[in-house]
Amino acid sequence: MHNTLKKVFGFQSFRPNQETIIKNILEKKDVFAVMPTGGGKSLCYQLPARMMNGTTVVISPLISLMKDQVDAAIENGMSAAFLNSSLSTQEMSDVYKRLKENDLELLYIAPERFAMPGFLETLKSLPISLFAIDEAHCVSEWGHDFRPDYLSLCNLTRTFPHIPVSAFTATATQKVQRDIINKIALRSPYIIRASFNRQNLFYQVKSKAGLEAQIIGFLKEHADEPGIIYRTTRDSVTKLTEFLVDQGISALPYHAGLSPEERKNNQEAFSRDRVTIIVATIAFGMGIDKSNVRFVIHADLPKNIEGYYQETGRAGRDGETANCLLFFGRQDIPKIRYFIDQMPNENERTVSMDKLNKSVKYASHNVCRRRQLLEYFDEKYLEENCGACDICMGDVEKVDITTDAQIVMSAISRTGQYFGIGHIIDIVAGADTKRIRELQHNEIKTYGAGKHKAKKHWQFIVDELLAQEAIAQDGGQYPVLILTKKGTDILLGREEIEGLKREEIRKKPKAFKVSGFEPYDEVLFDKLRVLRKRLAEEHKVPPYIIFSDMTLHEMCVYYPSTLDEIITISGVGDTKLKSYGIDFTKEIKAHLDKNPDISIPEREPVAPSVNTPRQKMTGGTIEKTYELSREGLSIKEIAKARNLATSTITGHLESLIKDGRDVAIDRLIDPAKRNTIEEMFLTLKTWHTAPIVENSNGTISYDDAKLVRAYVQQKQS
């Protein structure tokens, strides 16, 4: 298994659960696996496909995805094909011919084919090793993506009693899981429920205020990173795309109103890195396996958490850090409620309303976003601080807001629980509006009771009360505020309430540190990215299929410039070595020749784990640097004494600092300068050194930036 893993896929180690799943499949057991997006489900059936005799049949719901999946397998040197309605009769019969000759390891099929008369009979006569059902939640009416076509898979285990069946999905509550297992009639399956936690995703919610400027601000910090921006309506997709393009940003729209042709082209442009950003309705994404999506922005409130989790899940499949940013504005709630109110079925309305409320709670509740998402999927999250969401990374400080809460709730109560947020805030703030005068609300006791504080503050209080369910919104398109039992208790002084000291968070967000993120040569990365794109165009496949971002990052740490070296990089298997080894090593060699100062870290002889792309440099040489630094030598002096490049010494010191060793940072870099650089990292919200150096008018070197980065990261951890 390990041998195949390296030779075919180029990976040194398995991701969590892959190994046991594959072992069970090889023992011909049925398997049911829930693994998050990016968890590496494909490998769980592709690797057995190579090892077992016969063809592995993969059932996959999306024709648009099949070609890329097959191309990716072929790039890894597997024999693979697909059968779907997009093929001509000739192509179709070629595939059948290869099947009969046992010349296919992998065959991708759309589910509807199983309902076609005679198809199962045809399959029966072929040497099939395994059925793998991808996106298996589509078989369940309880899931969020039910597809009637999947029901034709229900006969599979009866028709093929001796062939193992595996089912994979990224989303299934316990209820959906039971339903899937029953429907497909899996035979005492081996069940894996992996954690839904996507450690490499950073979750963040911002109040929506001047959306376009907010988005531009984000994109400035994330220039050239491929990302998806979700909007609710076609119209807002069109407008936002136009705005971005006007601002010189490479973006294309995607929504159900475009012609199939346009949609296909835009999706392809995105997956092939020809356009950086796709602005889309939720119609976009089911058919996308692009692994290097670096961020997903929700510019409007999602209707439910399932959808939100799925959409954000499209970020960072390659395991590298990615951002999920939601812009939350209460004005979005009535818009969604309006649609819910149109639903004919009462039960459906109740369920949807409940889901919407949970989504609002996610956005406005001061609880770790990751914890909320995981708990939604019935998973207990035990960490105190997830380290990768805005709540956990902010300086969360709670204050007593009982008095302010009482002011707001008194205004609600005195006006008969009959008015919406805007009007209640106007009363509290003592606004002089026509409506207030007409209703004589300037005569109630609470009028103007909060005029010494900004309206924005009262908005915060209302949000907080809604989030903590002291008040609720009631009614259709123009919801009014009402008190809950909890709210009444607070109003009557029977209970107190605390809220987040909001302003504090925004001031000093700590920078984001996730495991797996390690520094790499950004200049080389850009060069390799260009090369990857060129080769992708030549080979007519999406760039991420050639090498993932993670693979490129690793190349930008170890600078493999020979074929012997590049084969040790995670993601470089035998076939890719043959196809791309020469091009990539050449580019890296050229980069090294141009930059003689670059020092290449040595690798430990042990097989590296995929999650920590950068290995510790061998101990001895670092220790030597440590000793000399302890003796008080400067970087230059150490470099000279050891006959090494200064950048090498900086690299040593970086890892010493990160390891929490006693390095006298003040001697290496002036404290004032250190503070400046620290501030820059925090305000620019990046761990990349390039923006720091570029913003410093030549006063900060890469080495300075690297040392301070190590210092700050150590301090934070």
Binding site for ligand ADP (CB under 6 A): 11, 14-15, 18, 35, 37-43, 289, 291, 317-318, 548, 570, 610
In this complex, which beta carbon is closest to ligand ADP, that of residue 151 or of residue 610?
A: 610
- Least Å distance, CB 45 to Mg ion, is 10
For Mg ion, the binding residues in 583-642 under the rule CB under 5 A are none
Q: Work out how close the CB of 16 gets to Mg ion at its nearest, in angstroms, rounded to a whole number.
A: 16
Query: Which of the choices Mg ion, ligand ADP, none does residue 35 contact, using the CB cut-off of 5 to 8 A by kind?
Result: ligand ADP
Partner whose footprint covers residue 314, from Mg ion, ligand ADP, none (CB < 5 to 8 Å by kind): none
Q: Are 232 and 208 in contact (CB under 8 A)?
A: no
CB 551 within 8 A of CB 292: no
CB-based contact 394:337 (threshold 8 Å): no
Which residue lies nearer to Mg ion by CB, 168 or 362? 168
Name the residue number minimizing CB distance to Mg ion.
41
Q: How many CA atoms lie within 13 A of 429 on its CB side?
A: 18
| Residue closer to ligand ADP, measured from CB, 554 or 654 | 554
Considering the complex, state which of residue 78 and residue 258 has its C-beta at the smaller distance from ligand ADP.
78
Q: What is the 3-state secondary structure (H, E, C) of 462-474?
A: HHHHHHCCCEEEE
Q: Candidates 39-47, 238-246, 300-308, 586-594 — which segment interacts with Mg ion by CB under 5 A?
A: 39-47
Three-state SS at 601: coil
- 36 vs 499 by CB, closer to Mg ion: 36
* 279 vs 591: CA distance, rounded Å: 35
Choices 35-43, 190-198, 292-300, 436-444 (CB under 5 A): range interacting with Mg ion:
35-43
Q: DSSP of 381-404, one letter per residue?
A: ---S--SSBHHHHS---EEE-HHH
Q: How many residues lie near Mg ion (CB under 5 A)?
A: 1
Q: Could you tell me if 459 and 423 are in contact, meaning their C-beta atoms sit under 8 angstroms apart?
A: no
The listed partner (Mg ion, ligand ADP, none) that binds 241, CB under 5 to 8 Å by sort, is none
The entry of Mg ion, ligand ADP, none near residue 14 (CB within 5 to 8 angstroms by kind) is ligand ADP
Radius of gyration, alpha carbons of the chain: 28
Choices 36-44, 107-115, 393-401, 402-410 (CB under 5 A): range interacting with Mg ion: 36-44
Which residue lies nearer to ligand ADP by CB, 211 or 374?
374
Q: Could you tell me which residues are beta bridge partners of residue 56?
A: 106, 130
Residues facing 230 on adjacent strands: 280, 298
What six digits make up the tokens of 482? 């009402």
The amino acid that residue 492 corresponds to is L
- Provide the token pair at 293: 């999506």
CA–CA gap between residue 633 and residue 646 (Å, rounded): 12
CB of 591 to ligand ADP, least distance (A): 24
Q: How far is the CB of 431 from ligand ADP (least distance, A)?
A: 51
Of 75 and 404, the one with the shorter C-beta distance to Mg ion is 75
Q: Least distance (Å) from ligand ADP to the CB of residue 194?
A: 9
Q: How far apart (Å, rounded) are the C-alpha atoms in residues 403 and 409?
A: 10
Query: Do 196 and 373 meet the contact criterion of CB atoms below 8 Å apart?
Result: yes
Q: How far apart are CA 394 and CA 278, in angstroms?
A: 29
Residue 362 near which of Mg ion, ligand ADP, none (CB within 5-8 Å, type-dependent):
none
User: Closest approach of Cβ 151 to Mg ion, in Å?
Assistant: 21
Q: Looking at residues 365 to 404 of the shown chain, list those that interact with Mg ion (rule: CB under 5 A).
A: none
- First and final CA of the chain: distance in angstroms? 36
Measured from the CB of residue 340, what is the shortest distance to Mg ion in angstroms?
A: 31
Token readout for 368 is 């770790």
Query: Which residues are within 8 A (CB) of 10 and not within 5 positions of it... i.e. 6 or more apart?
Result: 76, 551, 567, 569, 570, 571, 572, 573, 576
Measured from the CB atom, the residue of 68 and 704 that comes closer to ligand ADP is: 68
Q: Give the nearest distance from C-beta 306 to ligand ADP in angstroms.
A: 16
C-beta closer to Mg ion: residue 314 or 709? 314
Which residue ranges make up the site for Mg ion (CB under 5 A)? 41
